[in-house]
């Protein structure tokens, strides 16, 4: 995760209608602000993209991923070991 900074970046983001509706629905059902929901979904997507990089390497080289992150269970073709489960 990135280090905290003393400033917030503001930007304009154009969302497809289906994504905007899904995010608005999530904000409504959880009672969380829309901005918070968008940021959480972006973080989850970035974390998954990082995991996919490791998955690709493990598949290419026949390696085993050692991580406490249960997201690796999503990939049945990858050998995954949770070192905290021993």
Q: What is the pLDDT of residues 43-54, one digit of tens each?
A: 999 988 988 999
Instruction: Please report the pLDDT score of residue 10 as a whole number.
Output: 84
- Look at residue 43 in the predicted model and tell me its pLDDT: 93
Query: Which CA distances in Å does 26 have to 36, 38, 42?
Result: 10, 9, 14
9-41 per-position pLDDT tens digit: 888 989 999 999 999 999 999 999 999 999 999
Q: Residue 4: is its pLDDT beyond 70? A: no
* Confidence (pLDDT) at 41: 95
Whether this prediction's pTM lies above 0.85 is answered by: no
* Domain of 69, in residue numbers: 31-85
Which three-class secondary structure state does DSSP give residue 17? helix
Number of separate domains in the chain: 1
Query: Is residue 11 assigned to a domain?
Result: no
Residue 50 in domain:
yes
Asked whether residue 14 is assigned to any structural domain, the reply reads no
């Amino acid at each position: 995760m990135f280090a905290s900074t003393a400033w917030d970046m503001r930007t304009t983001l154009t969302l497809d209608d289906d994504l905007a509706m899904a995010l608005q629905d999530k904000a409504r059902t959880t009672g969380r602000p829309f901005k918070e929901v968008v940021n959480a979904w972006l973080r989850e997507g970035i974390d998954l993209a990082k995991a996919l990089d490791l998955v690709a390497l493990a598949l290419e080289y026949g390696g085993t991923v050692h991580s406490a992150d249960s997201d690796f269970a999503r990939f049945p073709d990858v050998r995954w070991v949770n070192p905290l489960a021993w």
